[in-house]
Amino acid sequence: MKLIAAVDKKWAIGKGKDLLVDIPEDKKYFREETFGKVVIMGRKTFESLPNGALDFRTNIVLTHDKSYVPKDICVCHSLDEVFTMIEDYDTEDVYVIGGESIYEQFLPYCDVAHLTKVDYVYDADKYFPNLDRNDEWKLAEVSDEKTYFNLVYEFDKYVRVKNHKEVPVI
């Protein structure tokens, strides 16, 4: 499985229910990476999407709320349910897209993280795990520096260098 996110210099990803930054090339990168794939997210992330379910993707929402039944998505209430839901998919086609607690729960099962790193510090209250401080991960690829108005950013790819937890077969 893979993770995908945009982070600031302190690994922040959001404030309240909002992302920190809106960079068109980052949106394009996200679309290209996840198009036709499976995306796993939490309820708050799903509810923050402006148009609901992401088109041309299998949307899986993990929530504790047993009465939560939005249209056009798969709802799971535990990691085991998610693993059962994705067992027929190639794990290379499964992307964890947030939020904070979802990233934390799925990090041990992932082996690639695609991060848009923005060279700025935002006022934030949601964070991605800092992979630079995790010896199980290494920075494998860094794009050329890019700019959007006054923002500087790059696309980084991290790979797990120590074994990840196997997705359980349920």
Q: What's 12's domain CATH number?
A: 3.40.430.10
Give how many domains the chain has, as a whole number: 1
- Residue 166 belongs to a domain: no
Q: Is residue 165 part of a domain?
A: no
Comparing CA positions, the residue from 127, 130, 126 lying closest to residue 15 is 126
Kindly state whether residue 145 falls inside one of the protein's structural domains: yes
**Under 8 Å between Cβ of 126 and 13:** yes
Q: For position 119, what pLDDT does the model report?
A: 98
Q: Is residue 51 part of a domain?
A: yes
- pTM listed for this prediction: 0.94
Other residues' Cβ atoms within 10 Å of the Cβ of residue 132: 11
Q: Cα–Cα distance between 155 and 87 in angstroms, integer?
A: 29
Indicate whether 170 belongs to any domain: no
Establish if 169 belongs to a structural domain. Answer: no
Q: Answer for the pair 108, 163: CB distance below 8 angstroms, yes or no.
A: no
User: The domain containing residue 135 runs over which residues?
Assistant: 2-160
Per DSSP, the three-state class of 1 is coil
The pLDDT of residue 162: 80
pLDDT at 169: 63
Q: What is the pLDDT of residue 167?
A: 72
Per-residue pLDDT of the chain (170 residues; tens, 9 = 90+): 999 999 999 999 999 989 999 999 999 999 999 999 999 999 999 999 999 899 999 999 999 999 999 887 999 999 999 999 999 999 999 999 999 999 999 999 999 999 999 999 999 999 999 999 999 999 999 999 999 999 999 999 999 998 767 776 65
Evaluate the omega torsion of the peptide bond into residue 99 and state whether it is cis, within 30 degrees of 0: yes
Asked whether residue 167 is assigned to any structural domain, the reply reads: no
